[in-house]
Chains A and B, each alone.
Chain A
Amino acid sequence: MSYVDYLVRRAIHSVPVIFGLSVLIFLISRVIPGDPVRLALGPEATDQQVAALRAEMGLDQPLPMQYVDWLVGVVQGDWGMSLRTNNNVFSDIVARLPATLELTVVTLFCAVLLAIPFGVVAGTNKDRWQDHLSRITALFGVSMPRFWVAIVLQIVFVVSLGLLPLSGRLSDGVAPPPAVTRLYLVDSLIAGQFGTFVDAATHLLLPTVALGLATLAQVMRLIRSDMIDEQRKDYVLAARAYGLPNTLIEYKYMLQNAFTSSLTVVGLAFGFLLGNAFLVEIVFAWPGMARYGVQAILYQDFNAIVGVTIVVGIGFVTANFVVDLLYGYLDPRVRLEEG
């Protein structure tokens, strides 16, 4: 089976997942206690008014019909009004998503990029100081709550040392770069505004650390244990017997095998980052979608909650799709044996 066949097959596999996801989100939106019509009209509305709005919103239809209507609306970008901002939820999210995406993607990228060498060094130096250091770091990274880490970072690097900006995506007075992707790092590079790029990057630094420490720790420990497993394999002994350099054996031969099993977790980690970003977004006043989602929950802003859930769900599915692609790319057995 060629890699293209494998891609197509994987893409087809994600269709039922997305369908199931949409049904689930729809059902949740209908099961959540509280009558959206009553909520919208207030306690003084007459029964007639309620019935009229109910008909207008299509809530008197059978559930499957409601689902189809809802799905068509979602696909067309009609995600309903937000009770809190009085905007279309879709445009609200579109305005905030890039900030969250920038934060989570950069975080995931840095976490994985650092986790690989740390994990390899810890795994190949099992029970030596490198390994103990990684174990302590990992324990710290996993057990410290993200918002607490965020606050400590602010106290140390902003208040005490004055090295980094406190919050937001850009300093006051720095204009956002011309919107292309709305990811400031990318847009500023496209526009050639390096000053803006540096400013955006320094604003991103602390939120990234606060958000990514746990992911870094988790992936690092996984790579470590997978590297230890790989070390016992015959092909490693063989490669050493052929006189290959250790670095080559570790980073090419063993890592590619070890990383495939860590990949699944990386995919899940992206979903968790999207879901957990609000802790960090609130502390750093990051104008992202996750913070919007939390505020929606606090205000019982029904449409906004559903909207954010859809986006996080799609994020999960996409991340897992990407993981499958990488998985097939890194491990030929996956694509060769599935045919």
Chain B
Amino acid sequence: MADPILEVKNLHVHFETHDGTAEVINGIDFTIERGETAALVGETGCGKSVTVKSIMGLLPSATIPEGEIRYKGEDVLSLSDAERHSRRGKEMSMIMQDPMTSLNPVLTVGEQMMDVLKWQGRPRLSLSKLVRDALSTGSKAEYRRRAIEMLGEVEISAPERVFESYPVELSGGMRQRVLIAIALLSEPDLLIADEPGTALDVTTEAKVLDLLDELVEERDTSVLYITHDLGVAREVSDRINVMYAGEIVEQAPTADLFANPQHPYTRGLLESIPTLSTGIGDGIEGHLPDYTDPPAGCRFADRCPHAEPACYDAYPYPRQTGPDHATACHLFSGTPARERHESLAAERVDIGTAPWLAGGDVAGGGDAPGDVSADGGTDQ
């Protein structure tokens, strides 16, 4: 935990809706070390996007009643809008999820890239800069050179042609590469990747992910990788945070998580990964809870196969179940992972131990997701 680039501490994000306050993010904690790739995994609607938008400062309609977001040790929530703006793009940038809609359809790729180079980090347009840019052909040529170079780096074979193209003239894979190129234009230290590639076919997605992996490796960029797919998270990340209904239910290094998945939700996700031998998994029955009226206890209890009545009342604070493994479930005992939960730990909620651990074999796992986790443990 030497030098984290991003620390999120006890983050709460609320939205005012017609039905009352929606408590979408309910006290999450995670850190990303420099040069590390952390994944935030969860199903659609679990609050992944809200989390990253809070980090980027792109949620004007939300309130953050509690919590801290520290970027390079500095609490970004206490910064002014202009100060946050100047960090956006330059310090932390984002690869958008959908390549078909995330590029402006009426401007050429080149125009959009040059705008980023020209205007990034400036809270407002300045007339003097407009005039200076219009007069100096040198800086324009420099922007152009830089943009085309970046397009080459994302392995686009005809960067000049793509530079002149409108987004409609490019394929989905090409556009995703362009999005990666734009996000990396200014060499950000933290890159947020919001499910890049999910809109693409599987082979293109794999290529794009490999490319992204290489690019961030070269630059030593820290990455927060958002995905709903544990399989993808295993490919790309060093560390996984599993998110459910606005809470982080389990966090561990990637290898450890696959070797020893603990939270019932994580296990459910693992079972949902389609494999060649068993076909599409069963998925997890049920739906996300209503954020305007969330359960007081465990938000997953309704869908959890191991839930006991006590789960509905007692908040399952994250607890340390291993040296670097935290799980928010009453099936496990351990010291609270966060100091603020110490008072809760005084009253132990006893719903027994995890049935798959009954045999006592921790690492191997017992039933369904066992073979997946065993694989995950060895090839990392």
Binding site for B on A (CB under 8 A): 233-235, 237-248, 252-253, 256-257, 260, 330-333, 336-337
Instruction: Tell me, yes or no, whether B96 is within 8 Å of chain A by CB.
Output: yes
Q: Are B168 and A245 in contact (CB under 8 A)?
A: no
* Candidates B101, B168, B192; contact of A233 at CB < 8 Å: B101
Note all chain B residues with C-beta closer than 8 A to A253.
Answer: 104, 107
Q: Are B179 and A245 in contact (CB under 8 A)?
A: no
In whole angstroms, what is the CA distance A242 to B86 when docked? Answer: 10
Q: Assuming the A-B contacts A242-B116, A244-B89, are A333 and B166 also in contact, with contact meaning beta carbons closer than 8 angstroms in the complex?
A: yes
Q: Are A248 and B125 in contact (CB under 8 A)?
A: yes
* Candidates B94, B121, B122; contact of A238 at CB < 8 Å: B94
* B contacts with A, residue count (CB < 8 A): 38
Q: Residue on B with the closest CB to A237? A: B58
Q: Residue on B with the closest CB to A246? A: B124
* Candidates B85, B87, B103, B125; contact of A235 at CB < 8 Å: B103
Note all chain B residues with C-beta closer than 8 A to A260.
Answer: 106
* Candidates B86, B98, B106, B166; contact of A234 at CB < 8 Å: B98
Instruction: Tell me, yes or no, whether B169 is within 8 Å of chain A by CB.
Output: yes
Q: Are B120 and A242 in contact (CB under 8 A)?
A: yes
Q: Are B166 and A239 in contact (CB under 8 A)?
A: no
Q: How distant is A20 from chain B, measured CB to nearest CB, in Å?
A: 32
In whole angstroms, what is the CA distance A252 to B116 when docked? Answer: 13
Q: Are B166 and A247 in contact (CB under 8 A)?
A: no
In whole angstroms, what is the CA distance A245 to B129 when docked? Answer: 13
Instruction: Tell me, yes or no, whether B214 is within 8 Å of chain A by CB.
Output: no
In whole angstroms, what is the CA distance A29 to B182 when docked? Answer: 62
Q: Are B116 and A244 in contact (CB under 8 A)?
A: yes
Q: Are B58 and A241 in contact (CB under 8 A)?
A: yes
Interface string of B47-74 (1 = CB under 8 A from A): 0000000001010000000000000000
Q: CB within 8 Å of A: which of B86-137?
A: 86-90, 93-94, 96-98, 101-108, 115-116, 119-125
| Residue among B104, B125, B168 with most chain A CB within 10 A | B104
| Residue among A242, A247, A253, A337 with most chain B CB within 10 A | A242
Instruction: Tell me, yes or no, whether B183 is within 8 Å of chain A by CB.
Output: yes
* Candidates A233, A237, A242, A256; contact of B107 at CB < 8 Å: A256
Q: Residue on A with the closest CB to B117? A: A242
Note all chain A residues with C-beta closer than 8 A to B186.
Answer: 243
Q: Assuming the A-B contacts A235-B101, A330-B106, are A248 and B121 also in contact, with contact meaning beta carbons closer than 8 angstroms in the complex?
A: no
Note all chain B residues with C-beta closer than 8 A to A244.
Answer: 89, 115-116, 119-120
Q: Assuming the A-B contacts A238-B179, A244-B119, A247-B125, are A257 and B56 also in contact, with contact meaning beta carbons closer than 8 angstroms in the complex?
A: no
* B-side interface mostly: loop
Q: Are B93 and A256 in contact (CB under 8 A)?
A: no
Note all chain B residues with C-beta closer than 8 A to A247.
Answer: 124-125
In whole angstroms, what is the CA distance A333 to B100 when docked? Answer: 13
Q: Are A248 and B93 in contact (CB under 8 A)?
A: no
Q: Are B169 and A243 in contact (CB under 8 A)?
A: no
In whole angstroms, what is the CA distance A336 to B164 when docked? Answer: 13
Note all chain A residues with C-beta closer than 8 A to B122.
Answer: 243, 245
Q: Are B124 and A241 in contact (CB under 8 A)?
A: no
In whole angstroms, what is the CA distance A257 to B123 when docked? Answer: 22
Q: Are A240 and B58 in contact (CB under 8 A)?
A: yes
* Candidates A239, A243, A330; contact of B104 at CB < 8 Å: A239
Q: Are B88 and A235 in contact (CB under 8 A)?
A: no
Q: How distant is A223 from chain B, measured CB to nearest CB, in Å?
A: 15
Note all chain B residues with C-beta closer than 8 A to A238.
Answer: 94, 96, 102-103, 179, 182
Interface string of B183-220 (1 = CB under 8 A from A): 10010000010000000000000000000000000000
Q: Assuming the A-B contacts A235-B103, A248-B119, A331-B106, are A241 and B96 also in contact, with contact meaning beta carbons closer than 8 angstroms in the complex?
A: yes
Q: Are A243 and B121 in contact (CB under 8 A)?
A: yes
Q: Are A234 and B116 in contact (CB under 8 A)?
A: no
Q: Residue on A with the closest CB to B169? A: A336
Q: Are A256 and B102 in contact (CB under 8 A)?
A: no
In whole angstroms, what is the CA distance A248 to B274 when docked? Answer: 44
Could you list 23 A-B pairs, sorted by A, with CB under 8 Å?
Answer: A233-B101, A235-B101, A238-B102, A241-B94, A242-B93, A242-B116, A243-B90, A243-B93, A243-B120, A245-B119, A246-B123, A246-B124, A248-B115, A252-B107, A252-B115, A256-B106, A256-B107, A330-B106, A331-B105, A331-B106, A333-B106, A336-B166, A337-B168
Q: How distant is B251 from chain A, measured CB to nearest CB, in Å?
A: 25
In whole angstroms, what is the CA distance A333 to B96 when docked? Answer: 22
Q: Are B104 and A257 in contact (CB under 8 A)?
A: yes
Question: Told that A248-B115, A248-B125 touch, could you supply 18 new A-B pairs with CB distance under 8 A?
Answer: A237-B96, A238-B94, A241-B89, A241-B94, A241-B96, A242-B116, A243-B121, A243-B122, A244-B116, A245-B119, A245-B123, A247-B125, A253-B107, A260-B106, A332-B106, A332-B108, A332-B168, A337-B168
Q: Are A234 and B119 in contact (CB under 8 A)?
A: no
